[in-house]
Amino acid sequence: GEVEAKLYEPMRRHSTMLVGGPAQFWLEPHTFDAFASVVNYCRERGMAIRVVGRGSNLLVRDGGIRGAVIHPKGGQFDECYVNESGQIVAGAGVRLKKLAGVARSAGIGGFEWMEGIPGNVGGALRMNAGAMGVETFQQVVRMTSLDEDGEIRTRERGEIEVHYRNVPELRRNFALQAVFAGVPDSADQIDERWEASRLKRRSSQPLAASAGCIFKNPSEIPAGMLVDQLGFKGRGEGKAEVSLEHGNFIVNRGGATAAEVLAVIENIRREAREKRGIELETEVKV
């Protein structure tokens, strides 16, 4: 009852881009202990392990994923509440949208930038997701993870190395839960920032299926501006197309394949390198 399992689960069902072949073993543990058991079981058998949350920053190839894909969901993973210190405790399976809503209802400010982020807490921690000039780890107080050695540990923010869209320890450890802090604020102030975030997003980002920003912003220029200047907007490969709204989004016009998306990514990277001498790195997990 603590783990649900499926064979050959189509990953397009678990990616906001709506692409990707089947996961050989799809496993949904509902508790931290069940998650640890699943990971240990797979490791002992030498199976490859991937953890996938909402799949909002993910590009799975058409051939799918061999081995285990673990999807933390339900039970402890979906818990989101304000603790006795006025901080927000959220499991890896909680959507950032939900976290932002819990903060808003409790009169805790600082989470408004999460209002439009489709991803889950686990994924946001893994990549230190951000928007509106704020990053996930600016609000993390402590994080609980299943470590490489099979132990579940909690670390304070100061013990965790964090970079732009990169948290090195989460390449080895799996985030299970985090405690977040904001600042007490009035409903009006929170609503104002919430609305500003929503307006900025709605005016500059596409609504069509996508994986959010494809590339990390290089130091030279925002990736979206670069792709725009290179003339890629509206161009693509099959059903995968660079968004007309924002150059750093590739949208699925319906039935796109991962191969098409990857071809668009490679075309952009080549031109950025050849014409501008800029090496673009993907932000989405390929």
**For ligand EPU, the closer CB: 126 or 246:** 246
Regarding 131 and contact with ligand EPU (CB under 6 A), the answer is: yes
Regarding 224 and contact with ligand EPU (CB under 6 A), the answer is: yes
Site string for ligand EPU, 248-277 (x = CB under 6 A): x-----------------------------
CB of 217 to ligand EPU, least distance (A): 5
Backbone angles phi, psi at 188, to 5 degrees: -65, -45
**For ligand EPU, the closer CB: 146 or 230:** 230
Q: Which of positions 177-206 make contact with ligand EPU (CB under 6 A)?
A: 204
Regarding 236 and contact with ligand EPU (CB under 6 A), the answer is: no
Find the binder of ligand EPU among 12, 54, 71, 246 (CB under 6 A): 246
Of 115, 164, 101, 177, the residue nearest 138 (C-alpha)? 164
Sort residue 46 into left (φ over 0), alpha (ψ -120 to 50) or beta: left
Give strand pairing partners of 236.
Answer: 241
Provide DSSP, 58-72: B---TT-EEEEEE--
Beta-carbon contacts of 151 under 8 Å, excluding residues fewer than 6 positions away, are none
3 state DSSP class of 23: strand
Output the CA torsion 193→194→199→201 (10° steps): 110
Question: Which of these segments, 62-70, 91-99, 210-218, 262-270, binds ligand EPU (CB under 6 A)?
Answer: 210-218
Site residues for ligand EPU per CB under 6 A: 129, 131-132, 204, 212-213, 216-217, 222-225, 228, 246-248, 283
